[in-house]
Amino acid sequence: MKRLRLRGRIRRPTEDEVQEIADSLYFFPSDEEVAEYTDVIDRSLALFDQLDELPLPHRPIKHRDRDPGYRPSREEDPLNLYITKCYIKGAPRGKLAGKRVGLKDNISLAGVPLSNGSRLAEGYVPDIDAAVVDRLLDAGATIVGKLNMDDFAFAGTGETSAFGPPRNPHNPEHSAGGSSGGSGAAVAAGEVDLALGVDEGGSGRGPAAWCGVVSIKPTHGLVPTYGLTYMDHTLDFMCPIARTVGEVALALEVLAGDDSRDPQWVRGPIKVDRYTRALDKDVAGIKIGIIKEAFSLAVSEPDVDQAVRDAVKSLGAQGVSSQEVSLPMFRESRAIWTALTAHSVAAMVESDGEGYWRGGWCNIGWQETFGRARRIRGHDFPPLLKMVAIEAKYMMQNYFSTYYSKAQNLRMAFRDEVDRLLKEYDVLALPTIPMKPIKLLTEPLGLREMGSRIASISRNTLPFNLTGHPAISVPCGPQGSMPIGLQLVGRHWQESTLFRLSQAVERQDR
């Protein structure tokens, strides 16, 4: 076949390749059709070639003094919190001036290696800053490290990290949570003033609960996710983590707001508030609904349930009323989340990490790194990720992706159910995680056991990734015990109410 264009990077497919692809799509063309398709594809790919001749838009890096960092020794980092220590100073003034910030190592920081908790990304150095990095540095923060996390964020205990697990500062034999375990633990250990986690099923709130600090999963779309290594653009959330409610509220003021690069599609305007103004407001009159389905689970620890109930009850002295309520679809949320994410993870893998049907800008450098790793070392991907992608491909091929659609429709019904409850109550309450921090494994578990271990941890957090409601985790429970988290869930865009109530919990816990 004569190639119609002499320049360009794209190799044209042979007729055998076209036949193979067509057969995999169940088209089964004749030889004559294959020859015709091959010829027309050549003409079409000439247009693709033109893209290589066009300058791609690229925002210049604002804060250019970059230390690429280093992997600290065990003596320097005994809790294994960092993957890379670095030093990038932001603006001389701003709301976060003087604050030391750590980033989960799946957030792009130009000039500093990004691992995604995996050896598969070895050698990848982003040439972009995530949107949240721009905002942190513009607000005067100093970024001091990329923090440890589960391999490709595909677990909930930190134990799958290619660099070894981050350890809980309250007891190093115990998990700091996951997948943002390094972020929660670095805050609790005083290594950073503020950390960013990422939460697709509880990965930001969980480490906060187990490390005894505060984190909020904002309303879907409030904080831009551009520059993240994504899992699902409808489930990805950037989460500030700090020691106090006030510090998290201040961080969210900096991070919140629209960004043209954001891949998330959000209906209606992004509603931003001055969250710190809510902190000292009276909480009298707030009504809390305690979700009964989130207690007394098979994996629940009675002292965790009791600590959460006691924390809510004690707010009565400040004029807060509470009542147990039922959220029936809460029981089904794990099934909905699992079916939805199986298909979306497979699509993310097949798109080599950027996803389809999205808004905003793409990170082509990460996409190339992901694509090469998948084709050359796909066997090294995390076992759970591989299993989910295989499962989803089976469901796509044999059940036409209808189970994704069923899950999506049920997701919307569940969101409506939560919204109806939040018309009657201002806030919903439940344990962040049904149990206290678990001991780190000394020997690897099989895939089935690891999957069950992770699922039990995220039972109470993943429902609100589905619905997009804001959810905050704030410490509660008796002094001297391993940390316990109280999770408060609010109406969309009503983070200020959560901060107001969380501040009241924090005051009474001192």
Q: List, by residue number, the catalytic residues.
A: 104, 179, 203
Q: Which amino acid is at 254?
A: V
Give dist(CA 207, CA 438) in Å, integer.
12
Which residue, 449, 416, 466, is CA-closest to 201? 466
Helix (H, G, I), strand (E, B) or coil at 269: coil
Give dist(CA 96, CA 142) in Å, integer.
8
Pair type for strands 214-217 and 237-242: antiparallel
- Please report which residue ranges of 149-258 form alpha helices under DSSP H: 181-188, 205-211, 245-255
Phi/psi at 111 (5° precision): 85, -5
Give dist(CA 188, CA 368) in Å, integer.
36
3-state secondary structure 261-296: CCCCCCCCCCCCCCHHHHCCCCCCCCEEEEEHHHCC
Q: Which residue has the tokens 């800053």?
A: 129
In contact, 150 and 117? CB cutoff 8 Å: yes
DSSP annotation of 439:
B
DSSP annotation of 107:
B
Q: How many residues does the chain have?
A: 510
In contact, 210 and 437? CB cutoff 8 Å: yes
Give dist(CA 232, CA 237) in Å, integer.
10
Q: Which H or E run contains 322?
A: strand 321-325
C-alpha pair distances (Å), 262 with each of 226, 428, 447 = 5, 29, 34
